[in-house]
Chains A and B, each alone.
Chain A
């Protein structure tokens, strides 16, 4: 790629990217840097009225954070959500993609749309719907389970069940997106590979295990990174369904950050949580990219 170009072209180039760069700079890059700075200050409700009252406090917010039990609870809950919900969602997506991709299937677009539909819905709205579906007495889930002889479960009221309930909602809401990603990956696998394997007498499971899965390697990395980044940010589900309860069993990092920052106006302390969120996402992404390199070798 040659740098430069003609004068007019270069000027136009900069003119065309400037609105985007300005917006990203002012409303994303500067605030991200600001979050780091903010996390070293005691910025609070008084600072909003008068910036001068803000003091630099060094690492105090981080020390406080590490000694706040609720932070560890939120970290544990978020990790639970990421580590259980992510793979579960990917597995559901892959299963749906393999079934929808089957050659003998009719009405393929209909099934594809049915599975994708939850993804386009508004999270707040469906979280409210699911809150009633999970109702211990009148909810559809318990009504269905009672037919199987399983006793009523207080899904959102029991600290052990609240997070699984939120994970289930989230898998239902999101698996359709990754199903499409996996479908694209499946359609990129050359048909000849399967034909050759069939001639060699390989069964369906064998073909799936030794052709489909390895060929989907890069797709898995993409799905893994995107799902993980999104999962770390879980906020609306607990905000709407449980407010972080019961007994803080669904308090997540971003919910904790929101409450500290915008309910108690401890913005400096809250910014330290934002930085932790950033670091976690970064570490997670690097780990997965490393995994990709390892599998490609």
Chain B
């Protein structure tokens, strides 16, 4: 009996907490379908009285959110593909290939992990300006291309690849690049998927660096465009909620379908870290 009460209590507490955690996102979705001005009433309505798609129509026509969506997508997808390849190679080499200077270089990288990215931003802006990379999609991708935590994560995982397997391939005359492509890359697939979802997420959600490096409206990413819109359309609650939904939706869908990679990545990275 006591056990049963406890169980009901636990489920009730968690259900309320989960509802509270989801409430802002649910309200965002609901308000995006409300008529203009509808959300600004007291008490605030929870559901639209007459659901409308007009805000989404406005966002993708007059406010050209579609273009920002494409920019965000190109930066996030391009950055992710490059990061997975670059980090995968480096992580594997740090784990499995013997070369002089490997350990000190790796320790140097680890030490760099405690330096906040913002410390580098001012000189990086000057540098990218000299390189002509301001207002380019590549310029906006730069911070996600070689994440140190990613190299660390891949290295941890790659250590479980048996040396015998690699040595056997070498005896068969396979080149190191061939070994990487046909043996290592496939066996790193799970950790690279984890790394990929995290890189996509951080590239998509990043705000400060794109804000600095993309000053030209045509190159804005969704978060930068949204922050700008929020300044101009302070009163248009429902419209802004539509913009927020469009911005959040892709990362949210990616999470729903790939959640095990997120969860594994966080749980694995922390226990050993």
B100 to A30, Cβ gap below 8 A?
Answer: no
- A20 near B39: Cβ-Cβ < 8 Å: no
Q: Quick check: A121 and B177 within 8 Å, CB to CB? A: no
Q: How many residues of A contact B (CB 8 A)?
A: 103
Is A114 within 8 A of B237, CB to CB?
Answer: no
- The segment from A67-75, A157-165, A192-200, A229-237 that touches chain B is A229-237
Given the interface contacts A115-B21, A274-B119, does A124 sit within 8 Å of B99 by beta carbon?
no
Does B217 make an interface contact (CB < 8 A)?
no
Contact A229 B114 (CB under 8 A): yes
When chains A and B are docked, how far (Å) is the Cα of A105 from the Cα of B100? 52
A8 interface contact, C-beta 8 A: yes
Bound state CA distance, A14 and B98, in angstroms?
Answer: 9
Residue pair B145, A28 in contact (C-beta under 8 Å): no
* Cα-based distance from A123 to B206 in the complex (angstroms): 8
Please name the residue on chain B nearest to A121 by beta carbon. B248
Contact across chains for A105 and B11 when beta carbons are under 8 A apart: yes
A38 touches B124 (CB 8 A): no
Q: Are A4 and B100 in contact (CB under 8 A)?
A: yes
Whether B208 lies near A235 (C-beta < 8 A) is yes
User: Taking the complex as formed, is A132 at the interface, i.e. its CB lies under 8 A from any CB of chain B?
Assistant: yes
Chain B residue nearest to A169 in the complex (CB): B24
> Which of A24, A257, A277 has the most chain B CB atoms inside 10 A of its CB?
A24
**Per a CB cutoff under 8 Å, which of B146, B170, B175, B212 touches A24?**
B146
Query: Which residues from chain B contact A110 at a C-beta distance below 8 Å?
Result: 18
- Which of these, B39, B212, B267, contacts A184 with CB under 8 Å? B267
Give Cα A270–Cα B118 distance, bound, in whole angstroms.
11
Contact in complex: B99, A13 (CB < 8 Å): yes
**Residue contact B97 to A16, C-beta cutoff 8 Å:** yes
Note all chain A residues with C-beta closer than 8 A to B10: 99, 102, 104-105
- Which residue on B lies nearest to A284, using beta carbons? B114
Q: Restricting to A32-84, which residues have a CB under 8 Å from any CB of B? A: 32, 34-35, 37-38, 43, 48
Q: If A19-B146, A20-B86, A123-B207 touch, does A133 touch B24 (CB 8 Å cutoff)?
A: yes
* Complex contact B114–A285 (CB within 8 A): yes
Contact assessment for B248 and A8 in the assembled complex, using a CB-CB cutoff below 8 Å: no
Chain B residues near A106: list those with CB within 8 A: 11
Contact of A32 with B122 in the complex, beta carbons under 8 Å: no
Alpha-carbon gap, A11 to B99, bound state (A): 8
For chain B, residues 126 to 144, give those with C-beta under 8 angstroms from any C-beta of chain A: 126-127, 129, 142-143
**At the interface, is chain A mostly helix, strand, loop or mixed?**
helix
A117 CB-CB contact with B under 8 Å: yes
> How far, in angstroms, from A162 to B7 measured CA to CA in the complex?
38
Residue B273 lies at the interface, judged by CB distance under 8 Å to chain A: yes
Confirm or deny: B193 has a beta carbon within 8 angstroms of a beta carbon on chain A.
no
Please give the distance in Å from A95's CB to the nearest CB on chain B.
9
Question: Which chain B residue has the least Cβ–Cβ distance from A239?
Answer: B227
B201 within 8 A of A: yes
| Smallest CB separation, B59 vs chain A (Å) | 13
Q: Is the CB of A126 within 8 A of B114?
A: no
The answer to whether the Cβ of A88 comes within 8 Å of any Cβ in the partner chain is: no
Tell me which residues across on chain A come within 8 A of B170, comparing CB atoms: 9
A33 nearest CB neighbor, chain B only: B123
Q: With both chains docked as a complex, state the minimum distance between the C-beta of A34 and any C-beta of chain B, in angstroms.
A: 3
Inter-subunit contact A233/B116 (CB<8 Å): yes
Please state if A116 and B262 are interface contacts (CB–CB under 8 Å).
Answer: yes
The interface residues of chain B lying within 8 Å CB-to-CB of A38 are: 122-123
Q: Which of B23, B230, B251, B271 contacts A122 (CB 8 A)?
A: B251
Contact indicator B122/A128 (Cβ below 8 Å): no
Of the candidates B14, B222, B271, the one having the most CB atoms from chain A within 10 angstroms of its own CB is B14
Cβ-based interface call for A246 (8 A): no
Q: How far is the CA of A103 from the CA of B92 in the complex (A)?
A: 38
Least CB distance, B127 to chain A, in whole angstroms: 6
Interface contact A20-B87, CB-CB below 8 Å: yes
Contact between A123 and B205, CB atoms less than 8 A apart: yes
Please give me the 7 A-B residue pairs with the lowest Cβ-Cβ distance, nearest first: A5-B98, A34-B123, A12-B176, A13-B99, A13-B97, A31-B120, A20-B90
Binding site for A on B (CB under 8 A): 3, 6-7, 10-11, 13-14, 17-18, 21-25, 27-28, 31, 39-44, 86-87, 89-90, 92-94, 97-103, 105, 109, 112, 114-127, 129, 142-143, 145-146, 148, 151, 170, 175-177, 180, 201, 204-205, 207-208, 212, 222-224, 226-227, 230, 237, 240-241, 243-245, 247-248, 251-252, 254-255, 259, 262-263, 266-268, 270-271, 273
A-B contact pairs, 22 of them (CB 8 A): A1-B98, A10-B97, A10-B98, A16-B180, A21-B90, A28-B112, A31-B127, A99-B17, A120-B255, A122-B251, A124-B227, A126-B248, A128-B240, A172-B21, A180-B263, A180-B270, A184-B268, A225-B114, A254-B118, A257-B122, A261-B125, A271-B122
Q: Which residues of A contact B (CB under 8 A)?
A: 1-6, 8-17, 19-21, 23-24, 26-32, 34-35, 37-38, 43, 48, 96, 99-100, 102, 104-106, 110-118, 120-126, 128-133, 137-140, 143, 146, 172, 176-177, 180-181, 183-185, 188, 219, 222, 225, 229, 232-233, 235-236, 239-240, 254, 257-258, 261-262, 267, 270-271, 274-275, 277-278, 281-282, 285
